[in-house]
Amino acid sequence: MNNKEEDKLRTLLKQAMPPLEHDLQRDLWPQMLRRLELRANTVPWFDWALAVLLLIGLLLSPHSIPVLLYHL
C-alpha cells in the first residue's frame, strides 16, 4: 500500500467509526448495589429437590457413598 491508499483508508475508517465518548451519563454503582440488594439469597426449589433425591438415594443404597465421594 502506498501513502495515498493509506490516507484514503484512514479517512474512510474515521468516517465509519465516530470517536467514542468516555463519559458516562450517570454513575452506575448505586444502581448495581440496589439490584444486588433486591436479589434474594434463596435457594431454588430444584436444588432442594436434588438434595432430597440425593439423600433418599444414599439412605436406600449406602454402598454408593464411596462412589459419590470418588466423583466429587
Q: What would the grid cell of residue 21 be?
A: 465518548
| DSSP 8-state symbol, 42 | P
* Segment 38-62, tens digit of pLDDT: 876 778 899 999 999 999 999 999 9
d(C-alpha 32, C-alpha 42), whole Å: 19
pTM for the full model?
Answer: 0.43
* Segment 2-22, tens digit of pLDDT: 888 899 998 988 888 877 777
Those residues whose C-beta lies under 8 Å from the C-beta of residue 6, and which sit 6 or more positions away, are none
